[in-house]
Structure 1
């Protein structure tokens, strides 16, 4: 079955696709620009637009589409379960320069799935069938895409939902290989991603723990997916998309000196809203990123622990200097430590 609308051109048509996963409070316009500075993925996805009977398009999220100068396609993600309002919102989004409309069927945050949205939709294939049918009718000149997990608590509905994906000619499926209840813990079921690749008619992006270029190459080989979607590990290593491309071309991966990581932290600190943000809030915002950066900088966990204790800008940057600028020969680890997971970011 052919796609209803062709997917946007990738940066490197000879290579598998790469995408930055949508993450709430992270994948805003500023972070997309920062990532693009270090090496863009093929596709970006917005934070989700919340959809209900009183919702309007979030202006802040909308800037990731209307003011985006990265040169890369941006898919607009929605989260909700009210069919009339999802259709209304999808049509409104199609008035903007979006690459396509993406439906979130995987967010594992309990406050989200308890409202029967995000990952909660996986409990009701019949509802998914109705939603995708109506959205497909409404979105007929752009790609309609889905981001989901392999199930809610188990994988009982997995194949049923894949068949629904086919029935409504979805154009791209981003599949996280854990259940909603797994959150970000436990093994990623790449074998189920491979099953989805065989079963659905559209390209599949493999998602879940793509922590390094080596992992990306292994997952692509294991699943046969059309590409990979990377979330949290791109926060800790914004060079990752370039490194994945280097690995796929059998090139040596260029090491990243820790002094460059220090420059990246400075760039994150210079968020456009910095002037109006209280310093305490700004420090907290940067710590969200440092949670992930720390894993690749110091496998022992000292940086992570001490960073979380800092309270002021001076304390935080002095600590960064201590770990990142003391030895100028050190480089960013190519594969982060797995035993120091920070708090998850809703996606």
Structure 2
């Protein structure tokens, strides 16, 4: 997920089991672009011990081909083209999910990249821009270009993260595509992971927001699929995770109030599992110092009771990934 699942977050996530496969934040690609050094570091310094997919976003064919060839010079398992980002500043530039309004252009981009890329080439898509009926037109395009993997987020771009996920469209992709299909959208617990796999027939899951709230989710899914007891963290363990997250992602050179503001972004995802009334999130939103931030966290989490698995509220974010049963955009 852009500006969230960066190298420090990957380093932290490995302590809790981590995903089977990780996808970088997206490299913004245009005629004047160069590979972002911070995102590139997550490839060259990969702390996960797992394969890494380099994700690109753009619409200029020569630039995308150039960036893909540059990325191939680094230890990446695949090159991925993002056709799913629903952020308005992205889709208004006809990038990410905005490209779904122009199937012919997508066809040309995929053809050029498939010809240029010598390692596995993958695509992350939504089911349409504002109308899922276009998905029936997109599937033959995806099939024609010999993708090695297709990840489908089961909402349109305009639906953002607000609607229910249309898993039937992911099932259609599974039936139509000659390559493996990964399901994405609201995979937030062990039980929803199993349900989505059963509903769609997908070969794997992509998980994003749930990995912020519950970094144990990858381990829990593996345990469930092996019929093992599922690990349930206590409140104190979640508090320790938040403390480790603060140390991992907050730059000591940045003023304290900015660090606290950054942590509030993460707590948007974590707070749902802490208590049901919303009071924890309400209190966290009002703190401005590190001391007050951790005082509030301690009031709600300094205990040894298990934290329940609860669905995420609808919220926005973009992509960490996993393979056999593990990763999501939202």
Cα shift at 1:271:
2.3
Cα shift at 1:272:
6.2
1:278 is aligned, of 246, 250, 255, to 255
Q: Deviations over 1:72-92 (max 9, x none)?
A: 111010000000000000000
Q: 1:106 to 1:127 in 2, by over 3 A?
A: same
Supply the RMSD in Å over aligned alpha carbons. Answer: 1.2
2:43 is aligned, of 50, 57, 65, to 65
2:194 is aligned, of 202, 217, 235, to 217
Aligned residue in 2 for 1:30:
8
Q: 1:258 to 1:41 in 2, by over 3 A?
A: same
Q: Deviations over 1:34-83 (max 9, x none)?
A: 11110111110000000001000000000000011210111010000000
Where 2:25 maps in the other structure, the secondary structure is coil
Cα shift at 1:27:
1.3
Aligned residue in 2 for 1:126:
104
Cα shift at 1:275:
2.1
Q: Name the CA distance, whole Å, in 2 between partners of 1:103 and 1:336.
A: 29
Aligned residues: 319
Q: Is 1:345 paired with 2:311?
A: no
Q: List alignment gaps of at least 5 residues for structure 2.
A: 320-330
- TM alignment of 1:314-325, pairs within 5 A: 314-325=291-302
Contact 1:299 1:336 in 2 (8 A): no
Aligned residue in 2 for 1:268:
245
1:303 is aligned, of 253, 257, 280, to 280
Q: Name the CA distance, whole Å, in 1 between partners of 2:256 and 2:27.
A: 28
Contact 1:34 1:267 in 2 (8 A): yes
Aligned residue in 1 for 2:326:
none
Contact 2:208 2:318 in 1 (8 A): no
Q: Name the CA distance, whole Å, in 2 between partners of 1:36 and 1:122.
A: 34
Q: Name the CA distance, whole Å, in 2 between partners of 1:257 and 1:220.
A: 28
Where 1:336 maps in the other structure, the secondary structure is coil
Q: Which moved more, 1:310-319 or 1:278-287?
A: 278-287
Aligned residue in 1 for 2:311:
336
Q: List alignment gaps of at least 5 residues for structure 1.
A: 1-22
1:80 is aligned, of 54, 58, 64, to 58
Q: Which moved more, 1:278-287 or 1:223-232?
A: 278-287
The TM-score, its normalising length taken from structure 1, stands at 0.90
2:222 is aligned, of 245, 251, 259, to 245
Q: Which moved more, 1:266-275 or 1:303-312?
A: 266-275
Q: Name the CA distance, whole Å, in 2 between partners of 1:182 and 1:337.
A: 16
Aligned residue in 2 for 1:8:
none
Q: Is 1:206 paired with 2:179?
A: no
Contact 2:149 2:180 in 1 (8 A): yes
Q: Name the CA distance, whole Å, in 1 between partners of 2:201 and 2:115.
A: 30
